[in-house]
């Protein structure tokens, strides 16, 4: 069972006299370390070379000695840094050295609302350290922490994300080919056909002339790149499809196998939902929907009370997959309780109301699938492929 993680509350009570609080501001040029040392009034800061972990550990030992000379024994060392390009390797490494690491979500840190806000590495470090202290004290909405995934979880998400990038790159190549051919009055050329390379050599302009040699060289290069991208996508998809036939599946593989049994839910949708969302621990259905970003965002101030739409937090690709699933769900699962609920609410109308209700259906679908993979209870009226 994956342990529960609360992004808004610390796991242990904060004791000022025995806790060394550290904040690390990372960048490609330098790393800045700020600290709150028990018994020491000043807040020391020091700059390091990027990834100079040994030097940082030596500085932590020095700060412990400073606290001891002030009559305070450090029993707990907590450190935070913002989620960014460096990812989670530093958190895993420092955790292995006995340091409690929390990764802060950058967008959750409150900033000044001035027209022109002063911004320096020193000010950012103070802001990061202040938000971290508030979070450790349990102050509400001080900031939000990011759950550190295991190395296996992070590695399992990589193929799906790489496939999405490759599909986007292939589409860009296809658009480039189409734009070049359109310059000579040629349309409806399809690079994904098996004999597309042969048909390219036989193409003629709108006037019936052969294409210029430099243009043909560029088109051949683009076709070779298109073919390579297609081969890489096929290799990722072949490895992805093998999860369905794994005889002794792990937790995530078991979830994918359960989802693909539902009619209308393909293996790509199941893989994205499990690897990106359902494999994580959630407190309740509201936390699940909030993580994906399909919960409402109210705006209430004085006499103003309106809704700003969904929050759109998290990864847009997951919301896109959920929205596609919501639109095809009534067609593939017409007898399910959710399809009937959607039909009753929309009543055959089109336009904005139907789009809004489709988002609501996506949220309900996500919660129902989450309960299905966690408990094994099939949602009401859902037809399985085995049946």
pLDDT tens-place string over residues 194-252 = 999 999 999 999 999 999 999 999 999 999 999 999 999 999 999 999 998 888 888 99
The answer to whether the beta carbons of residues 326 and 362 sit under 8 Å apart is: yes
- Reading the block at residue 169, the tokens are 């790159």
Residue of 286, 283, 150, 172 whose CA lies nearest to 226 = 172
- Reading the block at residue 179, the tokens are 């734009």
pLDDT at 99: 95
- Look at residue 313 and tell me whether its pLDDT is greater than 90: no
Across 105-231, the runs of DSSP E, i.e. the strands, are: 145-146
3-state helix vs strand vs coil in the chain, percent to 5:
50, 10, 35
d(CA 191, CA 197): 8
pLDDT at 386: 64
Q: Please, which contacts does 172-177 make with residues 24 or more away whose CB atoms are closer than 8 Å? A: 173/222, 173/225, 173/226, 173/229, 174/226, 176/222, 177/219, 177/222, 177/223, 177/226
- State the first-to-last Cα distance of the chain, in angstroms, to the nearest integer: 30
HSE at residue 318, side-chain half, CA atoms within 13 A, is: 23
| CA atoms 252, 254, 257, 258: torsion sign | negative
pLDDT at 2: 56
The answer to whether the beta carbons of residues 276 and 163 sit under 8 Å apart is: no
**pLDDT tens digits, residue range 174-183?**
999 999 999 9
The answer to whether the beta carbons of residues 212 and 185 sit under 8 Å apart is: no
HSE at residue 267, side-chain half, CA atoms within 13 A, is: 13
HSE at residue 385, side-chain half, CA atoms within 13 A, is: 11
Among the listed ranges 18-27, 291-300, 324-333, which one has the minimum average pLDDT value? Answer: 291-300
**pLDDT tens digits, residue range 90-101?**
999 999 999 999
**pLDDT tens digits, residue range 140-172?**
888 999 999 999 999 999 999 999 999 999 999
Question: DSSP code of 65?
Answer: H
- Look at residue 1 and tell me whether its pLDDT is greater than 60: no
Q: What mean pLDDT, rounded, does the chain reach?
A: 91
pLDDT at 3: 61
- Look at residue 115 and tell me whether its pLDDT is greater than 80: no
d(CA 37, CA 59): 12
Residue of 162, 15, 159, 127 whose CA lies nearest to 77 = 15
H or E element in which residue 357 lies: helix 352-375
Query: Can you say how many angstroms the Cα of residue 328 is from the centroid of all Cα atoms in its chain?
Result: 24
pLDDT at 170: 97
The answer to whether the beta carbons of residues 295 and 311 sit under 8 Å apart is: yes
For the chain, percent of residues with pLDDT exceeding 90: 70
Predicted TM-score (pTM) of this structure? 0.86
Band the pLDDT of 57: cuts 50, 70, 90: very high
pLDDT at 10: 80
pLDDT at 322: 94
Q: What mean pLDDT is predicted for residues 246-264?
A: 92
pLDDT at 4: 62
pLDDT at 379: 92
């Amino acid at each position: 069972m994956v342990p529960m993680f609360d992004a808004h509350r610390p796991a242990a009570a904060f004791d000022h006299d025995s806790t060394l609080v550290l904040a690390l501001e990372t960048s490609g040029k330098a790393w800045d370390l700020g600290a709150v040392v028990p018994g020491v009034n000043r807040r020391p800061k020091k700059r390091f070379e990027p990834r100079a972990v040994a030097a940082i550990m030596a500085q932590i030992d020095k700060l412990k000695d400073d606290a001891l000379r002030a009559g305070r024994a450090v029993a707990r060392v907590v450190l935070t840094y913002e989620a960014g390009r460096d990812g989670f390797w530093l958190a895993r490494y420092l955790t292995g050295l006995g340091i409690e690491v929390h990764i802060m979500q950058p967008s959750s840190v409150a900033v000044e609302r001035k027209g022109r806000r002063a911004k320096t590495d020193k000010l950012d470090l103070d802001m990061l350290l202040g938000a971290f202290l508030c979070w450790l004290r349990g102050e509400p909405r001080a900031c939000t922490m990011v759950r550190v995934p295991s190395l296996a979880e992070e590695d399992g998400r990589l193929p799906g994300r790489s496939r999405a990038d490759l599909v986007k790159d292939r589409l860009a190549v296809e658009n480039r080919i189409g734009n070049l051919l359109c310059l000579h009055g040629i349309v409806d050329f399809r690079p994904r056909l098996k004999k597309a390379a042969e048909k390219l050599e036989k193409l003629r302009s709108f006037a019936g002339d052969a294409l210029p040699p430099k243009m043909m060289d560029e088109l051949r290069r683009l076709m070779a790149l298109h073919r390579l991208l297609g081969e890489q996508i096929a290799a990722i998809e072949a490895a992805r499809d093998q999860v369905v036939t794994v005889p002794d599946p792990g937790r995530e593989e078991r979830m994918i196998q359960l989802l693909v049994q539902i009619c209308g839910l393909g293996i790509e949708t199941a893989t994205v939902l499990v690897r990106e969302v359902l494999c994580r621990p959630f407190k309740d259905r509201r936390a699940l929907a909030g993580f994906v970003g399909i919960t409402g965002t109210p705006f209430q101030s004085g006499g103003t009370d309106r809704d700003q739409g969904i929050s759109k937090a998290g990864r847009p690709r997951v919301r896109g997959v959920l929205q596609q699933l919501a639109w095809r769900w009534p067609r593939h699962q017409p007898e399910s309780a959710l399809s009937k609920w959607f039909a009753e609410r929309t009543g055959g109308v089109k336009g904005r109301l139907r789009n809004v209700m489709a988002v609501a259906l996506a949220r309900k679908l996500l919660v129902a699938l989450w309960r299905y993979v966690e408990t094994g209870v099939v949602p009401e009226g859902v037809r399985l492929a085995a049946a």
